[in-house]
């Protein structure tokens, strides 16, 4: 179920994320979807899942990590099934739970992220520290700051704390931001 927020784009707007009836099934059981959406740059969209498993799968499909078993996902102009490297370069993905990034290894994690993506380490540190200054020092905020070090145009958050959404939107006004939440908790969720 889409919980749309800040999505009012004309049809010709360039979309950073497109999903068309994307589903994920295993052993004949539908685990996630169907999911259809168009998310242009500068807009935000939440997907309300039935449970944590669906939320994780949908977020990972939106990031190009999990391929849908039916339907399609496009990230920018790329199909993650055919062009996974190009698609993933456009995405910052922050998974739910303990990301293993803490204050003591933040700088090392940013350096590793910069090396992984082949970007200037100084630029990566500057961008990650800017995001960190906005989001704070909670472990999930630090992990997100590391994921954003390469300044991608699409941000995908798996079950984020609600407190991260509004400051992230203010810090990245031109980014497309997609996140998942569990529908039962939606009443307590405010971006």
90-121 tens-digit pLDDT: 999 887 765 566 677 888 889 988 898 888 99
| One domain, residues 75 and 8 | yes
| One domain, residues 179 and 165 | yes
163 has a pLDDT exceeding 70: yes
| One domain, residues 170 and 138 | no
Give the range of the structural domain holding residue 8, as residue numbers without chain letter: 2-90+152-188
The gap from C-alpha 116 to its chain's centroid, in whole angstroms, comes to: 18
The structure tokens listed for 189 are 């969720």
| One domain, residues 77 and 163 | yes
| One domain, residues 8 and 71 | yes
Residues 65-87, mean pLDDT to the nearest whole number: 94
pTM listed for this prediction: 0.84
Residues 43-67, mean pLDDT to the nearest whole number: 94
Q: Report the C-alpha gap between 133 and 86 in whole angstroms.
A: 29
49 has a pLDDT exceeding 90: yes
pLDDT confidence band for 47 (50 / 70 / 90): very high
| One domain, residues 11 and 65 | yes
| One domain, residues 30 and 77 | yes
| One domain, residues 135 and 156 | no
CATH of the domain at 156: 3.40.50.300
Residues 172-179, mean pLDDT to the nearest whole number: 94
Residues 7-15, mean pLDDT to the nearest whole number: 53
- Number of structural domains (the chain) is 2
39 has a pLDDT exceeding 80: yes
Average pLDDT across the chain, whole number: 85
Residues 62-74, mean pLDDT to the nearest whole number: 95
| One domain, residues 136 and 166 | no
| One domain, residues 15 and 59 | yes
pLDDT confidence band for 188 (50 / 70 / 90): very low
Q: Report the C-alpha gap between 176 and 187 in whole angstroms.
A: 23
| One domain, residues 25 and 76 | yes
Q: Give the per-residue pLDDT at 184.
A: 64
Residues 161-188, mean pLDDT to the nearest whole number: 83
The gap from C-alpha 62 to its chain's centroid, in whole angstroms, comes to: 7
Q: H or E element: which one contains 123?
A: helix 121-135
Q: Report the C-alpha gap between 123 and 113 in whole angstroms.
A: 12
Q: Give the per-residue pLDDT at 12.
A: 39
| One domain, residues 16 and 57 | yes
């Amino acid at each position: 179920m889409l919980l749309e927020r800040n999505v009012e784009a004309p049809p010709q707007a360039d979309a950073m994320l497109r999903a068309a009836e994307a589903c994920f099934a295993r052993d004949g059981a539908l685990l996630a979807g169907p999911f259809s959406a168009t998310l242009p740059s500068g807009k935000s969209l939440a997907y309300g899942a039935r449970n944590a498993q669906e939320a994780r799968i949908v977020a990972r499909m939106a990031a190009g990590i999990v391929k849908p078993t039916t339907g399609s996902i496009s990230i920018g102009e790329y199909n993650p099934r055919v062009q996974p490297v190009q698609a993933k370069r456009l995405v910052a993905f922050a998974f739910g739970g303990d990301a293993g990034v803490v204050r003591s290894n933040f700088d090392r994690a940013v350096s590793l992220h910069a090396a992984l993506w082949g970007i200037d380490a100084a630029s990566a540190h500057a961008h990650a520290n800017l995001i960190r200054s906005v989001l704070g020092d909670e472990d999930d905020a630090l992990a997100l700051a590391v994921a954003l070090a390469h300044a991608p145009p699409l941000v995908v958050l798996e079950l984020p704390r609600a407190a991260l959404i509004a400051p992230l939107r203010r810090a990245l006004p031109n980014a497309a931001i997609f996140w998942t939440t569990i529908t039962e908790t939606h009443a307590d969720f405010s971006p």
